[in-house]
Amino acid sequence: MTDLPIGPIVDVTPRPLPPRTALRGTHVHLEPLHPRHTADLWQAAETGTPRGDASWTYMGYGPFASQDALERFVGDFATQHDSVAWAVRPVATGRVTGWLTLMSIEPKNAAIELGNIWFAPAMQRTAAATEAMFLPLRHAADDLGYRRLVWKCNALNAPSRRAAERLGFTFEGVHRAHLTVKGRRRDTAWFSILADEWPPVRAAFLAWLDPANFAADGTARRSIAAIRASQQG
C-alpha cells in the first residue's frame, strides 16, 4: 500500500461511440451531416459578405469559394471517424443553417468534446442555437454515459469563451501555442463539465428551454446564468 494521494475509483467500462442518428428537440432538429445539406448551407453561409466571412474567423476551415468546394468539404467532414457531425435544422425555418460535432472521442476515458460548431449569422444567438448545443451534450452524458464533456476554442475567440461559460462549462486554462490554424499560432482555451456537475447544468438548460421562459416575441425571460444562480441560491 502507498500513502501517496491517488484519484477516486471510476467505472472503467468504455463508453459507446456516438451513433450517427438524428436528435430532435423543440426548436431544432439535428440530422447526420450529408452532402445533400450543401445547398441550404451555402445559402446560409452568406459567403462573400463581410458578415458571413466573420463566422469563419476562428474555424479551421472556410470560408468556401464556391458551393462545389463546400460540398466537397461536407462530403469529407461528414464521414470522418473521430467525429460525428450533425446538420442543424431550426424548426422555425426548416432550413439547415449550421453544423456541429461530437469529437475527440475517448471511450476508455469517458471524455468527449462538443466542437466544430459553425452557425450561420442568422442562427446565432437563437433558441435553436442553444438547443442545438444542448442535445449532443445530453446525448453524450445521459444516453452514452460520458463523464467529461469538453469545450475548447481559440483563446482569442471571446464569443466562444462566453458561450462556454454561459452553457455551464468550467474554465480549465490555456494551452499555449497548442495548434497552428490557417498559418497562425493558436492558443487554446479549455473548458469542461464533469459528471457530477452535469445534473444542475442540464436542469438549467431545460428550464431555459421551457416554453414558459419565452415571451410572445420569442425572447427569453431569464438567461441560463440567471437560472443557474437561482438554483444555487
What's residue 170's pLDDT?
A: 98
What's residue 56's pLDDT?
A: 94
What's residue 208's pLDDT?
A: 96
C-alpha span between 173 and 50 (Å, rounded) = 31
Which among 54, 117, 125 is positioned nearest to 88, based on CA atoms? 117
* pLDDT above 90: residue 104: yes
What's residue 51's pLDDT?
A: 54
Find out whether 132 and 81 touch, Cβ atoms under 8 Å.
no
C-alpha pair distances (Å), 163 with each of 31, 65, 82, 153, 209: 23, 28, 24, 10, 16
pLDDT mean over 203-221: 93
What's residue 1's pLDDT?
A: 58
* pLDDT above 90: residue 81: no
* pLDDT above 80: residue 176: yes
Find out whether 148 and 179 touch, Cβ atoms under 8 Å.
no
Q: What pLDDT digit, counting tens, does each position of 34-78 carry?
A: 999 999 999 999 755 555 678 999 999 999 999 999 999 999 999
Which among 111, 197, 201, 200 is positioned nearest to 147, based on CA atoms? 111
* pLDDT above 70: residue 164: yes
C-alpha pair distances (Å), 56 with each of 8, 44, 59, 125: 41, 13, 5, 16
In degrees, to the nearest 5, what angle opens at C-alpha 71 toward C-alphas 65 and 75? 135
What's residue 89's pLDDT?
A: 98
pLDDT mean over 166-178: 97
pLDDT mean over 98-110: 98
The pLDDT confidence band at residue 187, using thresholds 50, 70 and 90, is: very high
C-alpha span between 88 and 73 (Å, rounded) = 16
Q: Please report, rounded to a whole number, the percentage of residues in the chain having pLDDT higher than 90.
A: 87
C-alpha span between 140 and 147 (Å, rounded) = 9
The topology under which CATH files domain 23-232 is: Aminopeptidase (3.40.630)
